[in-house]
Amino acid sequence: MLEPSGHTTVLFVLGMHRSGTSAVAGTFARLGFHLGEQLLEASPHNQKGYFENTVLVHLHDLFLHGLGYSWNDPRPLPLGWQESDLAKKFQESLQIFLQQSFPKDPWIAVKDPRICRLLPLWLPVIQSLGWRPNAILVRRHPEAISASLQHRDGMEGALADLLYIRYWLEAEASSRGLPRTTLDYDALLEDWEAELQRIIDDFSWQHIYLSRARRGVQEHLDISLRHHRPTKTASTPFTPLTAEIYQALAMPDSPESKIIWSRVTTQMGTLQNQFLLQQIRNISAQSRMHGTIQKTELPTHF
- Evaluate whether residue 300 is within a structural domain: no
pLDDT category, 101, cuts 50, 70, 90? very high
- Evaluate whether residue 152 is within a structural domain: yes
- CATH number of domain containing 122: 3.40.50
- Evaluate whether residue 212 is within a structural domain: yes
The total number of structural domains that make up the chain: 1
What is the tens place of the pLDDT at every residue in 54-82?
999 999 999 999 999 999 999 899 999 99
Report the Cα 82 to chain-centroid distance in Å: 18
* pLDDT at residue 143 in the model: 93
Q: Is the pLDDT of residue 130 over 70?
A: yes
- Evaluate whether residue 203 is within a structural domain: yes
Please list the alpha-helical segments (H only) found in the chain. 21-31, 54-66, 85-101, 115-128, 142-153, 157-175, 185-190, 192-203, 210-220, 239-250, 255-275, 277-288
Q: Which of 125, 38, 53, 37 is nearest to 89 (CA)?
A: 125
- Evaluate whether residue 2 is within a structural domain: no
Cβ-contact 250, 140 below 8 angstroms: no
pTM score of the predicted model: 0.87
Cβ-contact 138, 24 below 8 angstroms: yes
* pLDDT at residue 1 in the model: 53
Q: Is the dihedral of CA 30, 34, 35, 38 positive or negative?
A: positive
Q: Is the dihedral of CA 166, 181, 61, 222 positive or negative?
A: positive
* pLDDT at residue 291 in the model: 46
Q: What is the mean pLDDT of residues 289-299?
A: 53
What is the tens place of the pLDDT at every residue in 222-279?
665 554 456 665 788 899 999 999 999 999 999 999 999 999 999 988 887 776 565 5
* pLDDT at residue 44 in the model: 76
Domain that holds residue 25: 9-224+233-288
Q: Which of 172, 197, 183 is nearest to 261 (CA)?
A: 172
Cβ-contact 1, 107 below 8 angstroms: no
Residues 6+ apart with CB under 8 A from 265: 169
What is the tens place of the pLDDT at every residue in 2-34?
555 568 999 999 999 999 999 999 999 999 999
Cβ-contact 297, 78 below 8 angstroms: no
* pLDDT at residue 81 in the model: 97
- Evaluate whether residue 3 is within a structural domain: no
- Evaluate whether residue 196 is within a structural domain: yes
- Evaluate whether residue 296 is within a structural domain: no
